[in-house]
Amino acid sequence: MPSAFSLLLTISLAMTAASAASLSPRATGDTFGLFAYSTGDSGIGGYPVVYVNGSAYIGNRAVLPTDADTLVFFVDDSSTWVAYPNTTANATATFTNATFFVPGPSSDSKQAGFLTDTSSSTDDIITSGWRFYGHVALNEGSDGAWSSLFYALETSTTGLWSLNWNSTGVDDAIAVTIKDTMPPNVD
C-alpha cells in the first residue's frame, strides 16, 4: 500500500502534467467557436459570440436580428483571433474576415467587437495575446499576466447581450466566461 506522501506526489505530478497540457497553444489553422457561460439566473448558458454590425454580442440564435447577425468561427493567427462568417448560417454576411478585439484600459467604450479590412479604430483596443487555459479564453497582457475580464450587458432584446470587457464601475454587469466548447444543446 503506498504511503500518503507517495499518493499525494503522484496526484500532484498528474495535475502538473495536466496543467502543462492545458497551456499548449492551439494549432494554427484550427477553427473554433466562442461560447459564453455565466452562473446564476442570467440565462447565459453557452450562447455563441456573434458579429452584429462590427460589435460582439452573445445571443440565442432564435432572437438574433436576421438582417445584421453573423455566426462566426475563429482561427488563431499568432495569438490574434480572426473571425470568419459562417456563410452556411448567413449567406449574406457583410464581411470576409475580422479581427476580434476588446477595449483597452483607456477606451471609452467597453464593448468587444471586430475590426474588418474596411474599418479602422483610433481607440485603445487589444487584438493580440489571446490564449486558452484548457477551454477558457484569456488574454495575456504585455506584463505577462493572464486575464479574463469579460462581462455581458442585457440589451432591449430578450436573449441578446452585448459582450464587454473590464466592468469596473459598470452597473448590471453579468460576469461571463468565454470558452471554445459548445454546450450539449443550444436553443
For the stretch 139-182, pLDDT in tens is 999 899 999 999 999 999 999 999 999 987 788 999 999 999 99
- 1 within a domain of the structure (yes/no): no
Is 47 in a helix, a strand, or coil? Answer: strand
For the stretch 94-142, pLDDT in tens is 888 999 999 998 888 899 999 986 566 656 899 999 999 999 999 999 8
Q: Provide the CATH number for the domain around residue 62.
A: 2.80.10
- 36 within a domain of the structure (yes/no): yes
In this prediction, what percent of the chain has a pLDDT beyond 70?
Answer: 77
Q: Which domain holds residue 154?
A: 29-179
Q: Looking at residue 33, what is its pLDDT? A: 96
- 23 within a domain of the structure (yes/no): no
Burial 157-168 (b: 16+ CB within 10 A, else e): eebbbbbbbbbe
Number of structural domains the chain divides into:
1
Query: What pTM was estimated for this model as a whole?
Result: 0.81
Residue 92 binned pLDDT confidence (cut-offs 50, 70, 90):
confident
- 3 within a domain of the structure (yes/no): no
| Bigger pLDDT: 162 vs 68 | 162
